[in-house]
Amino acid sequence: MAHSQTSWNIALIQSDIHLGNPAANRQRIERWMEEALKAANKPDMIVLPEMWNTGYALERIQELADVDGQESREWIADFARRNDVHVIAGSIAEKRGEQVYNTMRIYARTGEEIAAYSKMHLFRLMEEEKHLSAGQSVVTFELDGQTSGASICYDIRFPELTRTMALMGAKVLFVPAAWPHPRLHHWRTLLIARAIENQMYVVACNRTGESGKDHFFGHSMIIDPWGEIVAEGGEEEEIIAGSIDLSVVDDVRARIPVFEDRRAALYKL
């Protein structure tokens, strides 16, 4: 049975991503992950960005996508087990049958795959809906006896999704992303809002670098349940490290009883 742990040291891998080159991307991500493990405060958890295996090479995604996620899954599971670290494995282009999904997988430090979430809101500005299939399930998962929720990038514009996970017991929201300029203000504001309104930690890992006309700005963030920023990256490749204390979630929810004061029967959704 998994032990209960109320605090985590977290490392966010704010990496550039080679367009359409899964082998190079895996090598790059692995170097950054190994670097993160050298920190004096060894991370309990490493978080990766969105679509780290292929980038947004959507015109070629059918040939580039990892079939059943098998290659990525085996590698990440082995890395987690060998290094005794949880991995929130960002998301990858994953082919299942004839469909390609933008899928996030979560691994415990034992190497066990805990959960998988496929992005349910596809972003039209990057033409995701033309090349990818949408996920159909809200996903929460448990690590070290604590419940967390999974979102990917554009999902944070849909507050109903995060609220649903909070009501399912999530104390942390993990958000791998590929969020570009000029929408830095949206990124920061939405993440902080999701933290405040749901009284939860938000841990968001955004890529950096350029791809076609898109310039990804990083600014990966860890935000506490008061909406205060625990850690935030700049615009270059780097590891963003921070610690979270999940007992703070219970304290904040007790101080301002948002969930008790909801009038769900009156909301027209």
> What's the start-to-end Cα distance of the chain, in Å?
39
Whether the per-residue pLDDT at 105 is higher than 70: the answer is yes
When pLDDT is averaged across residues 250-254 and rounded to a whole number, the result is 97
When pLDDT is averaged across residues 111-136 and rounded to a whole number, the result is 95
CB neighbour list of residue 191: distance below 8 Å, 6 or more residues apart: 156, 175, 202, 204, 221, 223
Cα–Cα distance for residue pair 229/242, rounded to 1 Å: 10
When pLDDT is averaged across residues 156-172 and rounded to a whole number, the result is 98
Quick check: is 130 catalytic? no
Whether the per-residue pLDDT at 1 is higher than 60: the answer is no
Q: Which pLDDT score is estimated for 126? A: 86
In the chain the domains, ranked by start, together with CATH numbers, are 7-266 (3.60.110.10)
pTM score of the predicted model? 0.97
Q: Which pLDDT score is estimated for 3? A: 62
Which of 119, 128, 171, 205 is flagged as catalytic? 119
Quick check: is 95 catalytic? no
Query: Which two three-digit tokens encode residue 197?
Result: 């309104």
Which of 94, 95, 128, 153 is flagged as catalytic? 153
Quick check: is 171 catalytic? no
Which of 50, 128, 171, 205 is flagged as catalytic? 50
When pLDDT is averaged across residues 30-48 and rounded to a whole number, the result is 97
Sorting pLDDT into bands at 50, 70 and 90, what band is 191? very high
Q: Tens of pLDDT along 42-101?
A: 999 999 999 999 999 999 999 999 999 999 999 999 999 999 999 999 999 999 999 999
Whether the per-residue pLDDT at 159 is higher than 60: the answer is yes
Q: Average pLDDT of the chain?
A: 96
